[in-house]
Amino acid sequence: MTSKELRDLDDAQLGEKLVEARKELFDLRFKHATAQLENTRQLMDVKRSIARILTVQRERQGA
């Protein structure tokens, strides 16, 4: 998701997206450790989406 799409979500939806992304990151790390992950780029993409979500949440706290 882009940061613009994330900013359109409310706080509850943003929290749900964060939980989903962290679960996906855990699953991808597990697959990577067991050599079942074919596309390692997914790890970086999920980490970036988590960072975007956290950035939007922090912007809202400061405002």
| The predicted structure's pLDDT at residue 62 | 86
Give the mean pLDDT of the chain: 95
Q: Cα-Cα-Cα-Cα dihedral of 34, 39, 42, 43, to 10°?
A: 40
5 pLDDT exceeds 80? yes
Number of domains in the chain: 1
Note if the pTM is more than 0.85: yes
pLDDT mean over 34-58: 96
Q: Residue 7: its pLDDT value, please? A: 94
- Here the tokens at position 10 are 């409310």
**CATH number of the structural domain spanning residue 29:** 1.10.287.310
Give the range of the structural domain holding residue 9, as residue numbers without chain letter.
Answer: 3-62
Reply yes or no on whether the pLDDT at 1 is more than 90: no
Question: What pLDDT does residue 63 have?
Answer: 75
